[in-house]
């Protein structure tokens, strides 16, 4: 069984400040890890993913995340946020066995950018 914990339901940050959104996972097998962003009334857009290889993953819109196996974490970071980054961010875990298994999502973190 897999689970994802996003420790913060809301993160307020001032514009141009750095941000970190935390994600911890648990799984009995090797995993794939994802971060999705959801803008109001929109679908889910993939920001980045970790499948294997380098533990530092770079995604779109200046975001990056680091896979830490010992701490079972996959925190998302951005060095300088913009008003347009205001959205809901979901961390998700998938079974590295591949196939068509569904992802398990965290509860989401609402990133609020303050001017």
Q: Which residues bind other proteins (CB under 8 A)?
A: 32, 36, 42-46, 49, 51, 90, 94-96, 98-108
Cα–Cα dist 67/31, whole Å? 11
**What is the CB neighbour count within 10 angstroms for residue 25?**
20
CB-wise, 53 or 115, nearer to other proteins? 53
Q: Provide the minimum distance between the beta carbon of 19 and other proteins in the complex, in angstroms, as a whole number.
A: 20
Rank residues 10 and 80 by Cβ distance to other proteins and give the closer one.
10
Measured at the CA of 97, the angle between CA 72 and CA 8, to 5 degrees, comes to 30
Least distance (Å) between residue 58 CB and other proteins:
15
Shortest separation between residue 40's beta carbon and other proteins, angstroms: 11
Question: Which distant-in-sequence residues (6+ apart) come within 8 Å of 103 by Cβ?
Answer: 34, 92, 93, 94
Tokens 């648990």 locate to: 26
In the complex, least distance from residue 33 CB atom to other proteins, rounded to whole angstroms: 11
Nearer to other proteins, 17 or 112 (CB): 112
């Amino acid at each position: 069984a897999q689970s994802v914990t996003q420790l913060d339901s809301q993160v307020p940050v001032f514009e141009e400040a750095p941000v970190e959104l935390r994600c911890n996972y648990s799984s009995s097998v090797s995993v794939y890890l994802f971060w999705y962003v959801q803008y109001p009334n929109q679908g889910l857009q993939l920001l980045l993913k970790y499948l294997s290889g380098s533990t530092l993953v770079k995604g779109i819109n200046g975001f990056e995340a680091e896979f830490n196996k010992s701490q079972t974490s996959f925190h998302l970071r951005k060095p300088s946020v913009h008003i347009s980054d205001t959205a809901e961010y979901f961390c998700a875990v998938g079974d590295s066995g591949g196939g068509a298994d569904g992802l398990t999502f965290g509860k989401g973190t609402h990133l609020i950018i303050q001017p």
